[in-house]
Structure 1
Amino acid sequence: MVLPGRTARLAAGLAMALLLAGCAFDNSRLPDTAPLPPAAPRLTGLDRAASREHQQLVTALGGEYRNARAEQLLQQVVAKLAPASDRPAESYRVTILNSPTVNAFALPTGNVYVTRGLLALANDTSEIAGVLAHEIAHVTARHAVARAEMEQRSMLVSRVVSEVLNDPAASEQVRDETRLSIAGFSRAQELEADRIGVRTIAKAGYDPYGAARFLVSLSRNAELNGSSSRSAQGQNFLSTHPTTPERVSQAIAAARLASSTRAGAADRNAYLNAINGIAYGEDPADGVVQGRRFQHPRLGITFAGPEGFQLDNTAQAVFGVSPDGSHALRLDAVELPPAQSLRDFLASGWIEGMTTQNITETTINGLPAATGTTQGKEWYFQLAAIRVDGAVYRLVYASRDNSTATMRAFRQTLASFRRLSTHEIASIRPRRIALITAQPGDTPESLASRMSAPDRPLERFLVLNGLTAGKPLTPGWTYKIITEE
């Protein structure tokens, strides 16, 4: 979560971020009412506009992560992939984002983005080549433009039905049908980008099976981090991405077709050396999530979500959602004049078209606060504003019902908001990827015991290194572990 002073500066960046559709991701836990992410923007044709979009996007998604060795390797990979792609004359620029999530995406301008979380998960150069080739395939196949044109056509049809024919109900049906069409369109695009990407990395001299290996690691990492608990909803017919098993099977099939008598290079050691020492997990400077607890050492605050909630810390806010998607929360920071009361602030209305009611001024762990409620068509909202020094934190708790259990969950979350102690702040330290050479007698358990993992060290070691349970280590091989500064 950002500092209060950066809230306004990120508004434009957030709008830009919502124009992207990531291709590999962990954070799929959203309420069922969340809209499908729009397509990436069209080519502007202006260098200045493209540069502005790039800067806004990087700012909104955690900033740029600088690591000379990793940047050099990525540019070397792209230099091999571009001539092997369907549009060899195009040039590409790779930017590493300072985000722990596993994500990659591209703009039609040729800007490709990967998170440091994705770099930490990959295990060789062919795997990262598969990711980059997939994103380049979206550009060469003009997927963003095709989807944008489809959305524009559907919006026009919906507007005509609503305004010209004066039939809002039919317009809503058109929008629902459009969502289904665009979701299917995006799934087809993802599978096509997978096939093109595998063909491209094979042509560039990389192991074509690297793409499938990374997809397997991606799925296992999502399960480890809790995203799989919503698999029944996240992989339904509205999902814009195919199921991971479907992608893996098709990637393997494409690799078989692309394979030749000469095996492609995996370049495991070169890749591991390039990412040695990169940051792992969340940057403590922007707050960290441990289980259902959020801590921000720089702001000096902490709170805990309700039991079972999955929290996600972004540049704009901390989000949380229940396993079934029927309850969600958001915590962010806003700037407020010292003279404005929290009661007046709460009464000003945070949710468009709704008025806050039942406002009560109180204190939370010695901090001045105000609470209130409001109600929409399908959701109930419980709100709180808490003042800490010069900042005001907004807590929004949304639920499908207004039961006693819901009220209790909100009150417990609010009651957990407090200042961090000096000792707690000092104990939150950054984690990094380190390399270790397996010695005779070493096991996954022994190396996992040397990790500073946030939780489940053995499972995290296996996923981090693309290993399966019960498989022995190879003496002399290099493996990744997580260390604490």
Structure 2
Amino acid sequence: MREAWPIWFAPRGRRLAALALPALLLAGCLGDQTSLLPGNAAHDGEIAPPITTVQRAADQEHQRLLAAFGGEYRAPRTRAALDEIVKRLARTSDGQIGAYEITILNSPAVNAFALPNGRLYVTRGLLALANDTSEIASVLAHEIGHVTAQHAAQRAEKEAESALVSQVASQVLKNPTQGAAVLAGSKLSLARFSRQQEFEADRISVTSLARAGYDPYGASRFLTTLGRNTAFRAAGQNQSAEDKRLDMLATHPQTPERIAAVTTAARQIAAPGLGEHDAGSWLNAIEGLAYGEDPRDGVARGRRYVNSTLRIAFTAPEGFSLEAAQDMVIGVSANGAQALRFDSVKLKSDQTLESYVAAGWIEGVATTGIEKTEMGGQPAVTAHGKGTDWMFRLAAVQFGDRVYRFILAARGSSDPERQMRSIVDSFRTLTPAEAQAARPLRIRIVAANAGDTVASMAEHMPEQDRPVELFQLLNGLDRDAALTPGRRYKVIGE
């Protein structure tokens, strides 16, 4: 069993999954944050038609989603392509509710959502993985399927039933073993219900694709890429795909199960190769789309982190890989023996930097060896500490009433003093011109020349980790696939 990380090294994916979005919302059908969220109840004493309550809740969840996923990303060419696909799907779908409205979320996460009123959401991270019109249409058809099948309302009813069962089990049943069995059965029933909804939305997606004239096999191709993306990210976090395998209580089926189901459904409709799968128009639609983190929230490229809003930059020690979120940066060494966290807090009015560090900010760890220093020309303090299983080096730099904190932890008895010193020495403030020059990476479309290989095309992405694997992932290529001269492929660059 893998030894647990300290709680304050929570990975970003788990943090996003924990965001409170209480909603009448069908969420996370494709990414790692997979949850079908229940509906908001009307306020006590409120008298209003149900549709008004539904619309109010939908408007609230729209704002919550924008806040949680970086706001709306404006890309007129991409939005126009998505609007056209949605119109084609809507004309042929069952249970049409009226006009659908799509929003691109400014997030590198791979996910899609739908509200019961027809609002659809896709992240730009998801858009980057699709390779033709039928693949992205399969995602939108899946979300529309959830709406037309009224899965959100069904799930809310099922969750209310599950809550009642839980209440009975906890308050009525006096036998702990019997109570646990009832609770487990209730959770399993809810999980099975959720998986059934996903399979139904997948089936609706394949049928809708064919009716709208798209290649029905686009769904299986995109789900295959989705599975490869999960494995790619897991490998980058020193975790195997098996470590992230969904358990029996997961709300979504295993990706291989879904691929098998949509492939079977497509075979019942048509042979492979029929229907539109226009790669050219889709690549034109997403060329120039931002890829990865937004520099305003902070960008991690290899070992280097840059935040244009805070106007700061630093470099992690050799062998580390960084992952940036809006409120923190997490780093892990290649061998998994060391971990880094960077975040910020606000000083209280009566606190100095030294008193804050001396008070200790890691539960159960005594802070010792406090020394004044400078980081990037700003006042700073370093310290160290020891926990049960970890050795710590700490550094804090002050900007006004805010403190930017580095925590470097090493498993066992090894002292990460040298690695922390390299971080302190690398920390610097950006000039206004440097901050303005920090731009997001973008999707670029490059035609392959005769003699080009996966390796040579991956050279267009020198700042990316594992560029060969990433190139294959982005373009839906098998490991041994040869490139076609003249064909256009996605690469990542400035």
Q: Deviations over 1:335-357 (max 9, x none)?
A: 33343356876899999xxx766
1:469 correspondence with 2:467: no
Distance 2:351 2:27 in 1: 39
Contact 1:306 1:409 in 2 (8 A): no
Once the two structures are TM-superposed, the CA of residue 293 in structure 1 deviates from its matched residue by: 6.1
1:276 correspondence with 2:287: yes
Distance 1:281 1:270 in 2: 22
Q: Deviations over 1:236-282 (max 9, x none)?
A: 32333222222212111111122279921112111111111111122
Match of 1:155 in 2: 163
1:23 correspondence with 2:29: yes
Distance 2:187 2:39 in 1: 18
Letter in 1 for 2:277: A
Distance 1:257 1:396 in 2: 56
Unaligned runs of 5+ in 1: 1-9, 29-35
TM-score (norm 1): 0.77
1:185 correspondence with 2:183: no
Contact 2:215 2:277 in 1 (8 A): yes
Q: Deviations over 1:198-226 (max 9, x none)?
A: 11111111111111111111222222233
Structure 1 segment 202-217 matched on structure 2, within 5 A: 202-217=210-225
Structure 1 segment 72-471 matched on structure 2, within 5 A: 72-165=80-173, 174-226=182-234, 229-235=239-245, 236-259=247-270, 263-291=274-302, 294-299=305-310, 300-302=312-314, 304=316, 312-318=323-329, 331-341=342-352, 358=366, 360=368, 362-363=370-371, 366=374, 367-368=380-381, 386-390=396-400, 391-393=402-404, 404=412, 416=423, 419-420=427-428, 422=430, 429-471=439-481
1:47 correspondence with 2:55: yes
Letter in 2 for 1:226: A
Shift in alpha-carbon separation, 1:273–1:234, aligned structure 2, 3 A = same
Match of 1:31 in 2: none
Distance 2:442 2:264 in 1: 35
Letter in 1 for 2:65: L
* Secondary structure in structure 1 of the residue aligned to 2:102: strand
Distance 1:297 1:159 in 2: 49
Once the two structures are TM-superposed, the CA of residue 78 in structure 1 deviates from its matched residue by: 0.8
RMSD: 4.3
Q: Please identify, of 180-189 and 72-81, the stretch whose mean Cα deviation from structure 2 is larger.
A: 180-189
Once the two structures are TM-superposed, the CA of residue 404 in structure 1 deviates from its matched residue by: 3.0
Distance 2:359 2:163 in 1: 32
Contact 2:26 2:146 in 1 (8 A): no
Distance 2:197 2:337 in 1: 30
Letter in 1 for 2:21: M
Letter in 2 for 1:50: A
Contact 1:61 1:99 in 2 (8 A): yes
* Secondary structure in structure 2 of the residue aligned to 1:466: coil
Match of 2:78 in 1: 70
Q: Please identify, of 260-269 and 197-206, the stretch whose mean Cα deviation from structure 2 is larger.
A: 260-269
Match of 1:3 in 2: none
Contact 2:297 2:309 in 1 (8 A): yes
Q: Max radius of gyration: which structure?
A: 2
TM-score (norm 2): 0.76
Match of 2:47 in 1: none
Shift in alpha-carbon separation, 1:343–1:280, aligned structure 2, 3 A = same
Q: Deviations over 1:14-53 (max 9, x none)?
A: 422897641222x57xxxxxxx845253586353442232
Shift in alpha-carbon separation, 1:478–1:381, aligned structure 2, 3 A = same
Once the two structures are TM-superposed, the CA of residue 437 in structure 1 deviates from its matched residue by: 2.4
Letter in 1 for 2:476: G
Contact 2:353 2:398 in 1 (8 A): no
Distance 2:358 2:454 in 1: 56
* Secondary structure in structure 2 of the residue aligned to 1:447: helix
Q: What percentage of aligned pairs have identical amino acids?
A: 45
Distance 1:145 1:231 in 2: 33
Unaligned runs of 5+ in 2: 1-14, 41-50, 375-379
Once the two structures are TM-superposed, the CA of residue 96 in structure 1 deviates from its matched residue by: 0.6
Q: Please identify, of 321-330 and 456-465, the stretch whose mean Cα deviation from structure 2 is larger.
A: 321-330
Match of 1:479 in 2: 489
Shift in alpha-carbon separation, 1:231–1:278, aligned structure 2, 3 A = same
Letter in 2 for 1:112: L
